[in-house]
Copies of this chain bind each other. A is one copy, B any other.
Amino acid sequence: MHVHHQSPGQSADSVTIIEVGPRDGFQSVGPYIPVETKLDVIGALHAAGVRRMEATSFVSQAALPQLADAEQVLAGVGALRGLDAQVLVPTVRHAERALAAGADHLSFVLSVSERHNYGNVRRGTLASVNDLMQIVALMPCGTRMRVNVATAFDCPHEGRVEAGAVLALVERLALVIHDAEFALCDTTGRANPAQVAALFQAARDRFPQIAGWAFHGHDTFGLGAANVWSAWQAGVRCFDAAVAGLGGCPYAPGATGNVATEDLVWMFEQAGIRTGIDLGRLAAVARDVVALPGAQTGGRVRDALAARACLPAGTVAA
């Protein structure tokens, strides 16, 4: 195993799971989820031990009506003690909205793939780098930034993304801001464990000045947990996940969402690596999330915990 170094404040046997269900998860749900329900879920996640969360996204209300209540959600999470709540901001204008609403941890997104960046935020990748520069200039002292590098492994339009293109973009981004957390995102879920380990090893070796690394994965092809484990072996200690594997797309059965938070908590805790999250309480939240109208969910642990041990006498099992 390759464990290069640890993020500050973490022991070798702990990881930080960043709950992105309220952003990446809820945004995929069709029927509007009332802000009270969102805050109930967020509060229950906090009560289960979640201490980092992507709470909402400041985006076009026309494009994503589900997240039109970003200001209210951000105001609501302020009451939760010790919660580090980041909010997604894809452009300068939305960053201004987020800062005006009191956000102290921004999460910026841009894609290695030009075409994906156009589809996602309607501008080229270098225009997004310029946006980031302007946002950094706007940030009051003490505001933190996480940079999400989308399509870092694979693009829905262009296929496999080469590591060289990712590293070249990170190099530009590191000139704009180096005291940010950088997340390499498997947007399509088509990354494989060898690719994940290789990219993080290369990135960490090449950019020692970058403060922290995170991995954002999807379980679409069943490799959500395997890729997270591989990133962990490459020294990554921060992982995005969505409660109940929330996400997916109403138009495409099988295009599942983020790796499920409860699956990662299970994996790490079973391996003796602390997450700070109570699996039983988290699974209870996950079952409530499954019941939300329009929720597309994934993950295994929720049902496996609910099922009783099953090996009737006389079955030949291996």
Contacts and interface: CB of A to CB of B under 8 A. Distances in A.
Contact of A312 (B223, B230, B251): B251
Contacts of A310: 156, 249, 251-252, 255
A100 interface: no
Interface stretch (A29-37, A39-47, A191-199, A205-213): A191-199
Interface in A77-121: 88, 90, 109, 116, 119-121
A244 interface: no
A272 B316 contact: no
A291 interface: no
A185 B318 contact: yes
A150 B229 CA distance: 24
A79 B175 CA distance: 65
B121 A255 contact: no
Contacts of A270: 190, 192, 195
A253 B303 contact: yes
B271 A222 contact: no
A267 interface: yes
Contacts of A64: 314-316
A161 to B, nearest CB: 13
B254 A316 contact: no
Interface string A59-73: 110011000000000
- In this complex, the interface size class of chain A, counting residues with CB under 8 Å from chain B, is 35 or more
A37 to B, nearest CB: 21
A147 to B, nearest CB: 10
A19 interface: no
Contacts of A230: 229
Contacts of A125: none
Given A185-B318, A226-B226, A252-B307, A301 B263 contact: no
19 contacts: A60-B314, A63-B315, A63-B316, A90-B316, A120-B317, A122-B313, A150-B317, A189-B304, A194-B271, A219-B222, A219-B300, A222-B224, A222-B263, A223-B225, A226-B229, A249-B311, A251-B308, A252-B309, A256-B304
Q: Return the 4 tightest CB-CB contacts between A and B, nearest first.
A: A254-B303, A222-B300, A254-B307, A252-B310
Interface of A: 24, 27, 57, 59-60, 63-64, 88, 90, 109, 116, 119-122, 148, 150, 156-157, 183, 185, 187-190, 192-195, 216, 219-226, 228-230, 240, 249, 251-256, 260, 263, 266-267, 270-272, 299-318
Given A64-B315, A122-B314, A253-B307, 6 more contacts: A63-B315, A194-B271, A219-B300, A222-B266, A222-B267, A254-B300
